Amino acid sequence: MHGQCLLQSAISRPPSSLVEKHHSREYPGPTAGLVPHSISTGVSNLSLRRSSKSILYSKFLDNGLLLPNKICFKVTPTVGWLGPRAVLASDLAASEQLVEKFDLDGQSQLQVNVVKSTAGSPTTIHLQVTNSNPSLILHWGAVNYDKKNWILPSHRPNGTQDYKKRALRTPFTKSGESSFLTIEILDTNISAIEFILYDQSREKWFKYEGQNFHIDLPRGDSGTPQKGDSGKPQVSIPEELVQIQAYLRWERRGKQIYTPEQEKEEYEAARKELQDEVAKGLSINDIREKLQGGGSLGDGSLSMKIPDDLIQVQSYIRWETAGKPNYSQEKQLQEFEEARKDLENELSKGISLADLRKKLQSGDTQKKAPDRIGKPKNIQRIHRKKRDILQMINKFPDKKENIKVSVEPEKRSALALCSQVMEALDGGSVLQKKIFKFGDKELLVLITNPRGKVHVRLATDMEGPLTLHWGLSKHSAREWTPPPLDILPEGSNLLQLACDTPFKEGFAGDASLKSVEIEIDKSSFLGMPFVLSLNGNWIKDNGSDFYFSLREKDTKPVKAVGDGIGTAKGLLHAIAEQESEAERSLMHRFNIATGLTKRAKDEGELGLAGILVWMRFMATRQLTWNKNYNVKPREISAAQDRLTDLLQQIFTEQPHNREIVRLIMSTVGRGGQGDVGQRIRDEILVIQRNNECKGGMMEEWHQKLHNNTSPDDVVICQALIDYAKSDFNMDVYWNTLISNGVTKERLGSYDRKICSEPRFSHDQKYGLIRDLTAYLRTLKAVHSGADLESAIATCMGYSAEGRGFMGGVRIHPISGLSSELPGLLQFIMEHIEDKWVGPLLEGLLEARFELRSNLLKPHDRLKDIIFLDLALDSTVRTAIERGFEELNNAQPSEIIYFITMVLENLSLSSDNNEEIIYCLKDWHHTIDLCKSKSDQWALYAKAVLDRTRLALTEKAEHYQKVLQPSAEYLGGLLGVDQSALSIFTEEMIRAGSAASLSLLLNRLDPVLRNIAHLGSWQVISPVEVRGFVITVDELAKVQNEVYGQKTILVANRVKGEEEIPDGVVAVLTPDMPDVLSHVSVRARNSKVCFATCFDPNILDDLRAKEGKALSIRPTSSDLVYNEIKVNEVLDDSENLSQGHGVSQGIALKKKKFNGKYAISADEFSDELIGAKSRNIAYLRGKVPSWVRVPVSVALPFGVFEKVLSEDMNKGVAEKIEALDKLVAKGDFSKLHKIREIVLQMNAPSQLVGELKDKMQRANMPWPGEEGEERWLQAWMAIKRVWASKWNERAYFSTRKAKIDHSDLCMAVLVQEIISADYAFVIHTTNPSTGDSSEIYAEIVKGLGETLVGAYPGRAMSFVTKKSDLNQVKVLGYPSKPIGLFIRQSIIFRSDSNGEDLEGYAGAGLYDSVPMDEEEKRTIDYSSDPLVVDHNFRRSILSKIAQVGHAIEELYGSPQDVEGVVKDGEIYVVQTRPQM
């Protein structure tokens, strides 16, 4: 815990000076490992509590001196820690005494150091005031030993003025946020000085308990002064100057890591350098001015701290002047140092740093230089632990089980139903509608505006005499004025400022309800305030008056978009009904959100999606944050607390919804602990008082803060800080506001408008920067849950003391955090603005890993841990975006390393992250291959890149499915701008790591393709064509279209099972279907050009040519396209429209039932079964002995029709016949219904008996032996094969080929399924090139359905020459994320009379169905021997090629062969002629 306290002090805010103010919190003691070794010396006469550690920060305010954390000097501690801001304690020379430290006003402190005189040197007094204004003056005099009146010293500091000959006035020198003054006393008769301080800008005097400050001066030592090695008298140098000089020495020497002994030697050497300068005649003030202005003393020359960006520009100029040589990295770094020396020489000539910058930036060299210069050497990095990343997998059941699709809102009450009646009566012109709940009773407020009049109806089911006490607002919202007499309902009693109207019985025909109806001229009044009186008791709206606007412009139309399918519709309606109440204030919104979130958590993912969408609308300012309601900041923070407590609970109880809960929390501030919310009100008063800025914009902001603080206040505060730091440049102020979404119009839209611009004087600058910086932390603590500094402070613990009316805050550190986390967070904050972001990313990810165990278990402070994790996640994203420049000329290995880090970050933020983790493993293996200089590494990396893209696509599609329907439906109900709705999900994705990852992949892709010689295209079907370009989203959506002219389809999605529409001559896609997938085979058979494009720029160019005529010419490794004249295509299209070249139809011979329900392999003939079954039977005994062919039986042609004709299935047959007629008329939606009805068929006992007999005779396992349930599984699989006759792709394909669907007959091939390690498809003639001397094959992990079916990703592909089957060339590595695996079982394969026909590729149209369901597994290619073991891969692929060659020789023609690999053995399951 000690380290956490120290860390918090180090990173909670930037220091304001070298020595900072103290607070009353005690530090419990030292913690090892957080502060580098330092020098310790004794200190005497300390009347002040001191820090046990000193921390040199890497940054000071106002662009002052930059100091690192490597040099750190400390004193021996006396008592407590005085956080939360760091105290830098200095070593004191033996002759120097820290006399006193005085608290001036709670903000500033005075420190007095006295150096006693020695022989040859005067007594010196050093005064320092922290957090001071520049206009500080010392009003002072001296005191003689025995006199009370002041005397005026003979030696006075520069700038001192005589005040009425009774006192002296000397101005302080401002440096950073502190002011300094040194007084040297030469007069021997002076025993003390007395003084008071005067702040001219504030006209404020500072005294010590109403009296003068009094400092006694020590007497000088007698005797000879001490001398150094040079023989010169030693002069006491203020320790803060020694520290600066020590740092500059360390920087000049390359920022080496010193031992404690070396640190001490360096420190004393720095002191000696400064003493030598004094001996040469420089005063302490001269030294201070030079050092704190950026100069360095010693080594004989002046060395300025020059920004790295200027050195980079100078490096570029040197490189350009030298002829742009190709420097090594070492030479680049040498050039960098030479450039630094060049600029130091310029500065030594008197040119200022600002002028030097202007000179260098006069051209475009600044933009070019950073691309040329290498990274700085000696980059500090954290040590990353080695972890088993498989332990990071989060895997939950398919979320479909957790999604409750709500189609209709919940059951409506009588009041809601009656409201619908009245809405319809008024033509649906609803201005406002809300139902309030009071226990089990309700109050309806319905405001409509039919025919130019405003109708206000109030109705309720409350029992007892009820009175409406109401008025109207004419000039301002919520104002009470009496209504006009002519609109009073019957029975009303007009009062002085209001009216009492009794409710009457009945509403919309329901006698159980009571109501009041008022008709008002809408042009005359703004709104209507009211309360209710029931049995003498007032009924209010959460303690306030009810209020409803009567103006149409103040209301949003209630209009839903779509039917709400795919949403928690009832919840979304509940949100919309309460939005008018929620927009009153953030307190109301968060309280309402808490209630609705309780409901949402029981509705699963879609319920939480509705809350996320609503909160996101709020966070992006699509909804009103405040309307006509004043609320205290502590009430807002308390409401946030309640909501985030509930979200914390859901995060724990529903781990499968953690990702969406994180997204909700990112839209909601943390809320306040320790009354931090109230400090928003209190601290702004202190800021106004301390800095005398009580009018204008600051007062307007103060009123807004008091009445309704919001996340906009964080932006406003930051804008004011930037404004002050820029010396009050108004453009800077507006730029900060506008870039963060706070426009001038938005400032003017608040209930408490901010119309003025800030106006401050220069004297207020430093006080405002100091106080607003502290205030920003308070604002972020309430409003910015994902702000890193605020999140760290909350987890590590901090305190802020109360002063006067302002309460204090004390946040305790979170227990149970990793002991390594504080050091990691300190490293992150030290490097948060580094240009080279690699080390920062490592630190951020290591911190997230250390937090992970705390996120996975309950904790009373879990939400604070979540907010810290969100902040780290967000910082990773911003760092990656900042680091893109770093990758401009990076090696591929560097880009890949960045990719691994972003994947790590994404995996830590995702629920189901298994696929992301396996992609990460693949990338790590890629790095190993790259390091080993494997000639295959780029080819493998391209497959991993493709797989990673698929993972991102899947994640984006899930977001689209879960969030977009809710965004559109709720957005319509709330009147959100349509432009915001259309890109809602896109913006959600863009805000996450997935977008950064996608950019990195896009940057790496062309690099890999170039190294692997892949080009921009993979041509699957090389056909030269001409046609008109049409862009479609999915090929599946247009597969049944008929295009009247030759068409080139640019399809964003192609899954692999689709039909190619009539009239299409080319399909170009970024998708990656396998070369041997169904759609690829059909494209080649239909002479359609089919190609995958890897270059997004080429695809964009093709999409831009929509409607234009193109010619396409594939080459051996590329595809060339050109625009052509329209008539060159139209002639061909005319032929197409007249039927030329279109198939005239294929006649099928309808098969009949031959009397057998089942047949054995030796009974197979073309009259009984299809070519698939005949070919597999032919192979047995004819292929080499090492090739296995599974035994098989079949249900022949006509069995389906025979079973359907049985009396037991008469009802099924009639339904199919009726639906078939509808399909024939074009109602293709009935195809799905037919398939469902086929599954209702019953099996005749004779079929069961014959099939059992044939299977047992073939030594195949009979399913029925395991029980009736297993037979029913087998029977269902058989029916699914028959039903596939009516699947869409098969039906459209036969229709396109003009095949009579009623002539199609389906046999069923029955085989024992092999639980394969791998599955393959062979084409014995290369299908992409037509080269008959080459065998082409593809292989996947598990069953072959992922290869031939619609499964994303690519298979491993290879070719081999038939002349040397052992020489295998891998063309592509696998990228399929999923493999299918199954237990030993039976598979039922379709075998129709409509397959393998001349001129028609019917293979694969119909389904093969295993008796048992396949298991989907995510594939780990980084441990797959086929991928990582070269010898194993060559052996298996060579065997596969040999099988293909043997079968081709057996048949004497090119073959399409399917098979599997099990335990190294090859099984062939079917073969057919290659089409």
Q: Are the C-beta atoms of residues 989 and 996 closer than 8 Å to each other?
A: no
- Alpha-carbon span 1418 to 780, nearest angstrom: 42
Identify the DSSP state of 208: B
Q: Residue 454: how many CA atoms within 13 Å on its side-chain side?
A: 24
Q: Are the C-beta atoms of residues 1189 and 1179 closer than 8 Å to each other?
A: yes
Phi, psi of 1085 (to 5 degrees): -65, -30
SS3 199: strand
- Alpha-carbon span 783 to 709, nearest angstrom: 9
- CA nearest 547: which of 603, 489, 477? 477
SS3 514: strand
The tokens describing 985, both together, are 């999900």
- Alpha-carbon span 215 to 101, nearest angstrom: 11
Q: How far is CA 1378 from CA 313, 1055, 1243, 1414, in A?
A: 50, 14, 35, 11
Identify the DSSP state of 226: P
Q: How far is CA 1101 from CA 894, 1031, 1093, 1128, 1473, in A?
A: 30, 12, 12, 21, 39
Q: Give exposure, 852-871, as e/b (b: 16+ Cβ within 10 Å).
A: eebbeeebebbbbbbbbbbb
- CA nearest 657: which of 1033, 859, 912? 912
Residue with tokens 């709330």: 974
Longest Cα–Cα distance of the chain, Å, equals 137
Q: How many residues does the chain have?
A: 1475
Identify the DSSP state of 162: E
CB atoms within 10 A of CB 1156: 18
Residue 562 contacts by C-beta under 8 Å, 6 or more apart in sequence? 965, 968, 969, 972
- CA nearest 1092: which of 999, 1008, 1015, 1033? 1015
Residue 498's Cα: distance from chain center in Å?
A: 53
Residue 521 contacts by C-beta under 8 Å, 6 or more apart in sequence? 453, 454, 487
Helices 937-974, 914-931: crossing angle, 10 deg rounding:
150
Phi, psi of 194 (to 5 degrees): -130, 150
CB atoms within 10 A of CB 282: 15
Give all strands (DSSP E) within 1116-1251, no chain letters.
1119-1123, 1159-1160, 1187-1188, 1192-1195
The 3 state secondary structure assigned to 1018-1080 is EEEECCCEEEEEEEEEEHHHHCCCEEEEEEEEEEEECCCCCCCCEEEEEEEECCCCCCCCHHH
707, 712, 715, 721 alpha-carbon torsion, rounded to 10° = -10
Q: Which sequence positions are flagged as catalytic?
A: 1078
Q: How far is CA 168 from CA 127, 141, 153, 157, 1290, in A?
A: 15, 6, 9, 10, 103
Phi, psi of 514 (to 5 degrees): -130, 155
- Alpha-carbon span 1327 to 1021, nearest angstrom: 8
